[in-house]
Amino acid sequence: MRTVRRRTGVVTGFVRLAGLVMLVGSVPLAGDTTPPLATAPPVTKNGLLLFGPLPVELEYRARKLFFSTVTRARLELAPSASVSAMMRTPPMGAPVALPADTVMILTVETELPFGRRESMCLLLDPRTGAALQGEKVALGRRTNRNISRYLKEGIYSWRWSPADKMEEKLSPEAWTKRREEFLPYPAELPAGAVVTDAYAVVPLSAAAHFERPGGGMQLFVLSYHNFLALEFTPQGFEQRKLAVEEQSASGTHDRSGPQLVRLVDVSTRAVQGTGRESPHDLGILGFEGGMSLMIDASTGLPVGLAGRVPYLGTLTARLTRVRYATDPSAR
């Protein structure tokens, strides 16, 4: 695998990309007003339905022993023209073009043990789920900021980190330890493959049509320097106990008790030609080697994510709150 690096300042180590990195704080989010998701007409492609009755805010919580996390995600549609000036131009390659009309913005805030926090935001093609550009800021451990621009040939990333303890107290924009890197797609990546971030799995699985005969989905993400193929395979139904606060224009109510959920297995395999052995780290709550999703049979919403975490074993993150763009009864 050919890798091109550009450095400024004093740089040590290498770039760790756990999943595909995302754009934080550059795109203004809507307030509490109903976002354009509520009125946009349905648009489908490659089995995805990303316009229409989707959740706009999700909150997941996980707890095991001393380990607890809170993950909050937000979905928004924005005109492509409003984000075009924010797109970076790398010194090489052909950047993936913005859709002509609309971009989906996925922002994720995660609180992790020992004071660690991650802030992420990803620009997606709302018809396919493909990533366009993103940024990830990690604080508290392996403090760094990454911006990635997705190209037709691969991914070009810019990385900042504090040069010393004093810089750790400054904002990410003031960090001076910098590095640039180009990671080309392996030749074995299929033509037309959808390359995205692991955190986009939740909204994309909500948009997939697993109820169709033979329904499934395949996505590609970057883990460390490996490209991973994620295979989504429905596994049948089970009764699971849910406790979710649902919010919409009509008000707030609690939905609890046994509910029918569809189990979906998400397996991982390294795409041949990436040239480096490393753990299949999905970049979601430390999950390695795949995970399973619990999809609410009545809403199509992922209400649980489970996977294996080093030293802890199986960890499950459960949906605790959701805000819809439209009333559930209108769906």
Q: Let me know: does 129 contact 48? Beta carbons within 8 Å.
A: yes
Checking if the pLDDT of 137 tops 90, the result is no
Measured between alpha carbons, how far is 207 from 214 in angstroms, rounded to an integer? 16
Q: How far is CA 48 from the centre of its chain?
A: 16
Which DSSP state fits 192? T
Checking if the pLDDT of 263 tops 60, the result is yes
Q: Let me know: does 207 contact 186? Beta carbons within 8 Å.
A: no
Quick one: CA torsion of 29, 319, 69, 74, rounded to 10 degrees?
Answer: -10
In a 13 Å sphere around the CA of 128, the CA atoms on its Cβ side amount to: 15
* pLDDT for 65: 78
What is the mean pLDDT of the segment spanning 214-240?
Answer: 85
Query: Residue 249 is inside which H or E element, if any?
Result: none
pLDDT category of residue 239 using cuts at 50, 70 and 90? very high
What is the mean pLDDT of the segment spanning 207-217?
Answer: 72
Residue 238 CA: distances (Å) to CA of 62, 209, 246, 302: 20, 18, 22, 14
* pLDDT for 15: 23
Longest dimension (CA), the chain: 57
Residue 41 CA: distances (Å) to CA of 209, 265, 292: 18, 30, 31
Checking if the pLDDT of 260 tops 90, the result is yes
What is the mean pLDDT of the segment spanning 299-326?
Answer: 86
* pLDDT for 86: 87
Enumerate the β-bridge partners of residue 240: 259
* pLDDT for 288: 78
Checking if the pLDDT of 297 tops 70, the result is yes
Which one is predicted more confidently, 49 or 184?
184
Q: Give percent of the chain with pLDDT exceeding 70.
A: 76
* pLDDT for 124: 92
* pLDDT for 8: 35
Checking if the pLDDT of 256 tops 80, the result is yes
Checking if the pLDDT of 276 tops 60, the result is no
